[in-house]
Amino acid sequence: MLSFAGKLVLAPMVRAGELPTRILAIRNGADLVWGPEIIDKKLIQCKRHVNEKLGCVDYLVDGTTSPVFRTCPQIEKGKIVFQIGTSTPSLAIQAALTVIQDVDGIDINAGCPKHFSIHSGMGAALLRTPDKLCEILCELVEKVGRPYGKTISVKIRLLDNREDTLQLINRLCQTGISHLTVHCRTTPMRNREQPIRGYIKEIYEVCQTNGVTLIINGGIKSRSHFQEIQRDLELPKEIGGMMADCAEQNPTVFLDSPIEWFDVVKQYVRIANDYDNNLGNTKYMISRIVPGKSKFYQFFARCKTFQEIEHVLGLLGPKGDPLGDPLPFIENCRQQEKLAK
């Protein structure tokens, strides 16, 4: 079983948390990585394929080629937590059983504030239906966690006040889960708002009494920033930290000294290429890693193929400065494209 105590981990992130980001994070100090939330009904449609060429396992909907979930056991085994979006115990179990042999833990998303999740009773809506949330977790513990020796966990947000939050956490801890992640903001709060960290120790005590590990999330900017928070709030070392926003911009943020963006983008593209990552997703991540003020932001935005991305990368100097102008090459690619039509 995974141990979460005191770990610094990559948050679940739709789009950003695909395999290349997770590999980059693991290679650069992340103790554990969460996959992006995948909805139960989507996962249930998938079949497992061993991808010999890449050394990966893919979960694919029949007749499609782009995997809903791809994992590389050689790198991720012992470190990968799979997050499910659900509001139905039976579907949650079915979804968890679909992937269980390739992941180390199953996590339930009970914190997403987006309309898409809430209106179908998933994400943060589960915080308002605690009976249902507890039923999902109890069933997962009994039918997936225990028989397969895997960790069952849940990621929540704070409720409007301390008492209600502690009461909810006490209930969740009694479902048999091994781990809890608390995003230290309430559901209406946005990521730019300062998290509420005033009663983390009390949350920890409830968890500890029930043998549940705790990771806090929200506004942690780096490993050193997490250590600062631990020191300032005198937090026990067993409480871990989870990073999203800053790890999306720089998946090496788990290191004591994170790598600069111009080297991060090179490493990222190499991994994305090696693991046949989808071009749209690769471009999305490049746009998160490359600062908007760099000329390269525009250069990469104009690329339409991996070959063009590689060409632009070749002109990225050792300090993020341009070694030449990639635009003529890109214009030429557009011309060739027109002629080929």
Catalytic residue positions?
A: 112
61 has which bridge partners? 46
Q: Footprint of ligand FNR on residues 298-337 (CB under 6 A)?
A: none
Q: Which residues contact 327 (CB under 8 A, 6 or more apart)?
A: 299, 302
Q: Does 258 engage in binding with ligand FNR (CB under 6 A)?
A: no
x/- mask, ligand FNR, residues 213-232, rule CB under 6 A, reads ----xxxx------------
Contact 3, 240 (CB under 8 A): no
Q: Which is nearer to ligand FNR, 15 or 77 (CB)?
A: 15
Residue 237's closest CA among 2, 9, 14, 8?
A: 8
Which one, 8 or 75, has the nearer CB to ligand FNR? 8
Binding flag, residue 245, ligand FNR (CB under 6 A): yes
Binding mask 7-26 for ligand FNR (x = CB under 6 A): ----xxxxxx----------
Q: How far is the CB of 140 from ligand FNR (least distance, A)?
A: 16
> Which residue, 22 or 183, has its beta carbon nearer to ligand FNR?
183
- For ligand FNR, the closer of residues 98 and 316 by Cβ is 98
Residue 202, sorted as left (phi over 0), alpha (psi -120 to 50) or beta, turns out to be alpha
Place of tokens 């966990």: 153
Quickly count: other Cβ atoms within 10 Å of residue 165's Cβ.
22
- Kindly state the smallest distance separating residue 282's Cβ from ligand FNR, in Å: 15
Minimal distance, residue 311 CB to ligand FNR, in Å: 28
For the CA atoms of 100, 79, 66, 282, what is the dihedral angle to 10 degrees? 160
112 sits near ligand FNR (criterion: CB under 6 A): yes
Can residue 179 be called a binding residue for ligand FNR (CB under 6 A)? Answer: no
**Per DSSP, what are the bridge partners of residue 33?**
10, 80
**How distant, in Å, are the alpha carbons of 12, 127, 263, 284, 334 from that of 218?**
12, 18, 26, 22, 42
Task: Specify the DSSP class assigned to residue 101.
Answer: G
Residue reference for tokens 């801890």: 173
Nearer to ligand FNR, 8 or 265 (CB): 8
Least Å distance, CB 52 to ligand FNR, is 29
Binding site for ligand FNR (CB under 6 A): 11-16, 36-37, 83, 109, 111-112, 155, 183, 191, 217-220, 243-245, 248
